[in-house]
Every structure is written in structure tokens, then in C-alpha cells.
Amino acid sequence: MLTLLLLGFGALSLYVYCKLKFKFAEKIPCVEPLHPIFGNGLEFAQKNSYEIFKSLTRAYKDNKRIFKLCFGPYPVICPTHPDLIQKIMTEQASMDKPFVYDFMRVKHGLLTADYDEWRVHRKALNPTFNTRILNSFIPIFTDCAAKMIANLRKHEQDDQPVNMLEFTSPCTLEMICRTSLGGKVLEREGKQEFIENLEIILHNVGLRMFNANLYPDIVYNNTRFYRAEMKARKICYDFTDKVIHEKRAEFEKKLHRTVDGNNNSVKGDENGNVVFAGEEDDMLNYKKPQIFVDQLLTIPNDGKPFTHEEITHHIYTMIAAGNETSATQAAHACLLLAMHPEIQERAAAEVCELLADDVEYTHDILKEMVYLERVIKESQRLCPVAAVYGRKTIDTIQLDEFIIPKGYVLLLNVFALQRRKEYWGPNADQFDPDHFLPERVKQRHPYAYLPFSGGPRGCIGSRYAMMSLKVMLSQILKNFKLTTDIPYENMDFKFKVSMHLSFEHLIKVEPRK
Ligand code: HEM
């Protein structure tokens, strides 16, 4: 009897506590069906990641401004209107990331760092993605794309389609590894193991993010996924540690030479990078690619050099954030082009004219690929690889009449946002690159399109991604005609860390005459 009374009292206290704690969200519309104890959690637990994504998208489409999802009593706030999204993206109060980002185990990396650390690191790293540095990467992008084209050529006489992602993935991985760790990184001993184990890490992190039962460390750390992830991390870190140590030794040798040669003074470029003796011309004119790790070794981070751990976390963040996203987006764009022959021909005509006589890629040529840019943007609108992402409040923020306290998760679904007819018109679900004609862009809400997120914590690599995608896609279009048997209406998605097609990118490549 006493036990029953105690249990009853405990349950009542918990109920009252939750009622008071989550009172701020009481009037925010919620998604039905809502279980009295588990909230929406039960429904989610019974679904696979594909069905969860479908229900989430329906909920975002049905709600005009804001709604909530309840996991037990805990509310997750889901804004749907671009005004509210703009506020979230631009206010300091919502600049932090939810706990699931911690599963990546790169706490100093920009993607996951706590707000205070992120602010300092982002300020230091912004210049490492400036236009001149990005331009210094063009020869690397071109070389990696040429290898992808050579591999595709082996299939241009096949009757069977290829899976385009199998060609774009090695290409973007090589781009990101060479621009972040140096030109010869994928020629080193152990590179195959590095690539395979990187895949294991990314896969297992994604698996954990989409399985709430794997969230508690005590559960995950006792699974085979944890053991495989730790083993893979050791192999990858051993590989990159060696590269970073060698780079540091090289940096220190050059620094001594420079300091001695300049009577103990060191010159810096406009980003604060050290300019080494004998390399002034190359470095100040960005003739050599400005490799990310070299920059991390030289730029100050709030007056101090970056530590080995910080450098490692930044490198892995770039690889995790920039590789699969770009590869998948390139494959999506190819499939959409294969499904829309007229648009493909127009884009091909533009790139063939700009790249006639095999001219070398330059910043200006890439800038002139205006139609291709609209194609890429439209493919990011309809098939955004980063379709759902989150923020966490570090202070109270007002969204409409609701005051959201510190410590709550704000969940954004750009897949739903980028297909809303209010902003994209009656053909919102159609592939139409003219959605990005300058006059139409001007009329639209600036936060109705967010494939790279937005505001100060938006993607630092967005221009890198656009340049590398233009090089890859212009080479594919210049060399091949793409066709597919998959009708556009059948495009369907599944959800891992990023959004994927629920089938392969099966495309036939024929030589372009
Ligand atoms: C098509 C390709 C890409 C897409 C769609 C994309 C998308 C995004 C999105 C949506 C975010 C915000 C994520 C969040 O808040 O959870 C983000 C952040 C980030 N991205 Fe990208 N990205 C791409 C390519 C790249 C590339 C190539 C790099 C690096 C070379 C990169 C580096 C980063 C980093 C470091 C962040 C964290 C920024 C911060 O919090 O300050 N991304 N990206």
C-alpha cells in the first residue's frame, strides 16, 4: 500500500514538474496523434528513418508558422515560417547545436563546437575560405574531376547504367583530402584503410543519430557499432596524425629559416598566415594551393596556435561536412539532368561554349556558368542533402508569441520549406532552374532557401562546394550525354545523416558528340 502511495506521489510530482517546466510550449500546436505519456515519441519509435522523414515533412508542410513535437513531455520546437527561421539563424540566442552533434566526437570542429569556442574558431577560420584561397584550389578540383571522367569513360559503351554516386564520391573525397591535408595524401601508404575506416565512422555516427535507443552512452558503448567505430577512429587518426606531425615539422623548419633570414621578424599575409622566405611570391599571389592544414598551423586562434587536437577536429569536420554532401548533391543534379533532357542540353551548350578549346578553368569561367549554377541551386532546392538540421537555444528567444527558454532544440526542415507553394509558386515540386532567375530570387523571402543553412553559423564551405560542383558537373556535361529510365515522379528519399535517394542514381553515360 505504502509503495503504491509513494509511486502515486512520485508520478504526481513528475507530472506537476513537467507541467510547470514545459508550460512555455503548452499553446504551441502539436502533431497528432499525441500519446498521453510518450507524446509523438511512440509513433517515431515504431517507424523507420524513411517513414519518420515522410511524417516530419507532412507536419512541416501542414503548419504555417510553428509547431512542436513531443518526446515524452519534452517539446522540440519546429518553426516553419521563413521569418522565424531567419530569427533563429541570425540571433546569438539560437547559435548552439543539439546534443546529437556530439556523436561526431569532434568537439572543437565548427559543426559541433559549443557557441563560445565556435565563435572564436569561426572568426579565425573564415579567411581560410576566402576567394583567393578557393581559386588556388581550382587546379586540384580540375585534376580530381579529370580522374572521375576517365573512370566514367570506361562505361560509355555499356548498355547498363552506372550508379553515379560511385563516381562522384571518390572525386569529392580526393578534393577534400587534397585541399585539407595536401596534394599527396591519397598516395600515402594506408590510404585505402583510411578511406574504408572513414566510411565506418561516418556510417556508425549516422546510425546512432537516427536510433534514439542508441543515444545513451551506456547503451551505445556496449554495441558492436561502438567497437567498430573506435577501431576505425584509431586507424584514421594514426593516418592523419602522421600527416599533421610532418606538416608541423615542415612548418617549424621553414619558420626558423624565415626568422633567421629576416633578422628575427616574420611577415604575414592579409589573413595573418606566416609568409615563408623564398615563397613570398607563391604565397602572396596564391599560386600554390593554400592547404587547410598549413593554414591551421600558421593562423593564430585568439592569439595562440591551434593545438594538435583542434587541428585534427577541424580536418575531420571538413571531411565529414564537405565530402558526402558534395558527392550526393552532384549525383542528384546528374539524375535530375538525365530526367530533363531539354534542361540538360541547355546546360551542356553553356559549358561546351565556355570550355571550348579545352581552356583552363578560372574563377571567371566558373562565374560565367550561370545556367549551370541555376541547375545546381534547383537540385539543392528539390533534393537538399542537408534536409533537416537543428539548433539549441543558449538564451531565451521569442518566436511569435512564444518565449522559448535556454536549452531547447529548434528543428528545421528545409526539404519541406523549399517546396512550399507560398514561396515557390504552383510548380514548386517541378525541376525548373528558372526558379533562380535573378528577378525571381529578388522577390522571394531570403530564408525560403537554405541548402547551406544561413546566418553566421551557415556552411563555411558553401562557395567551395559551388565551385567544386561546377567543375565536376561541367566536365560530366561536356563529355557525356546522360539518360535514365527512372521517371522524375518516382524520386523518393530516405534519411541517414544526410538525405539520400531511396534507390541508386542509375544513369547511362554516352559520349557527347
Ligand atoms: C553541397 C555541399 C554542401 C552542403 C549542402 C552543405 C550544407 C551545410 C549545412 C546545411 C550546414 C549547417 C549544418 C547544421 O547547422 O547542422 C553546413 C555547415 C558546415 N559545412 Fe557545409 N555543406 C556542403 C559542403 C561543405 C564543404 C565542401 C565544406 C568544407 C570544405 C563544408 C563545411 C562545413 C562546415 C565546417 C560547417 C559548420 C559551420 C559552422 O558551424 O560554423 N560544407 N553545411
The atom of ligand 1 lying closest to the CA of 172 is 27
Q: Is the pLDDT of residue 284 over 80?
A: no
Q: Is the pLDDT of residue 497 over 90?
A: no
Q: Which residues constitute the domain of residue 395?
A: 121-511
Whether 467 lines ligand 1, by a CB cut-off of 6 Å, is no
Poorest-pLDDT segment among 289-303, 361-375, 473-487, 495-509: 289-303
Mean pLDDT of 55-82: 91
Average pLDDT, the chain: 89
Ligand 1 centroid–CA 69 distance in Å is 26
- Which residue has its alpha carbon closest to ligand 1 atom 37? 111
Higher pLDDT, 190 or 463: 463
User: Is 107 a member of any domain?
Assistant: no
Poorest-pLDDT segment among 46-55, 105-114, 360-369, 451-460: 46-55
Whether 451 lines ligand 1, by a CB cut-off of 6 Å, is yes
Strand-pairing partners, residue 69, are 76
Whether 377 lines ligand 1, by a CB cut-off of 6 Å, is no
Whether 198 lines ligand 1, by a CB cut-off of 6 Å, is no
User: Is 244 a member of any domain?
Assistant: yes
Whether 449 lines ligand 1, by a CB cut-off of 6 Å, is no
Whether 455 lines ligand 1, by a CB cut-off of 6 Å, is no
**Whether the predicted model's global pTM rises above the 0.95 cut:** no
Confidence class for position 64, pLDDT limits 50, 70, 90: confident
- Which residue has its alpha carbon closest to ligand 1 atom 26? 322
User: Is 347 a member of any domain?
Assistant: yes
Own/partner pairs, 155-160, CB within 8 angstroms, 24+ separation: 155/509, 156/480, 156/509, 156/510, 156/511, 158/508, 160/508
Ligand 1 centroid–CA 13 distance in Å is 43
User: Is 91 a member of any domain?
Assistant: no
Name the DSSP letter for residue 126. Answer: G
User: Is 9 a member of any domain?
Assistant: no
**Which pLDDT value is given to residue 259?**
61
Percentage with pLDDT > 70 across the chain: 93
Whether 68 lines ligand 1, by a CB cut-off of 6 Å, is no
Residue labelled with grid coordinates 577541424: 314
Name the DSSP letter for residue 194. Answer: H
Ligand 1 centroid–CA 289 distance in Å is 21
Mean pLDDT of 444-453: 97
Whether 122 lines ligand 1, by a CB cut-off of 6 Å, is yes
**Residue 459 annotated as lining a ligand binding site:** yes
What span, in angstroms and rounded, lies between the C-alpha atoms of 344 and 352? 12
What distances in angstroms separate CA 381 from CA 282, 419, 448, 495, one per listed residue?
Answer: 39, 8, 10, 16
Domain count for the chain, please give it: 1
Ligand 1 centroid–CA 236 distance in Å is 21
Whether 137 lines ligand 1, by a CB cut-off of 6 Å, is no
Confidence class for position 502, pLDDT limits 50, 70, 90: confident
Whether 328 lines ligand 1, by a CB cut-off of 6 Å, is no
Rounded-to-10 torsion of CA 319, 324, 327, 331? -170
**Which pLDDT value is given to residue 179?**
93
What span, in angstroms and rounded, lies between the C-alpha atoms of 496 and 205? 10
User: Is 153 a member of any domain?
Assistant: yes
The answer to whether 168 and 330 have CB atoms below 8 angstroms apart is yes
Ligand 1 centroid–CA 4 distance in Å is 52
181 burial (CB, 10 Å; 0-12 / 13-18 / 19+) is buried
User: Is 183 a member of any domain?
Assistant: yes
pLDDT in tens, 16-54: 777 777 889 899 999 887 787 788 877 777 777 778 888
pLDDT in tens, 86-115: 999 999 999 999 999 999 999 999 999 999
The atom of ligand 1 lying closest to the CA of 466 is 1
Ligand 1 centroid–CA 465 distance in Å is 9
User: Is 21 a member of any domain?
Assistant: no
Q: Locate 124 and state its grid cell.
A: 579565425
**Which pLDDT value is given to residue 268?**
58
- Which residue has its alpha carbon closest to ligand 1 atom 40? 111
Mean pLDDT of 229-240: 94
What span, in angstroms and rounded, lies between the C-alpha atoms of 57 and 80? 11
Percentage with pLDDT > 90 across the chain: 63
Whether 204 lines ligand 1, by a CB cut-off of 6 Å, is no
Complex-level ipTM beyond the 0.95 threshold: yes
**Which pLDDT value is given to residue 265?**
58
Mutation choice for ligand 1 from 375, 452, 459, 468, CB with most ligand atoms inside 8 A: 459
Whether 318 lines ligand 1, by a CB cut-off of 6 Å, is yes
Q: What is the CATH number of the domain that holds 196?
A: 1.10.630.10
**Which pLDDT value is given to residue 331?**
97
The atom of ligand 1 lying closest to the CA of 317 is 35
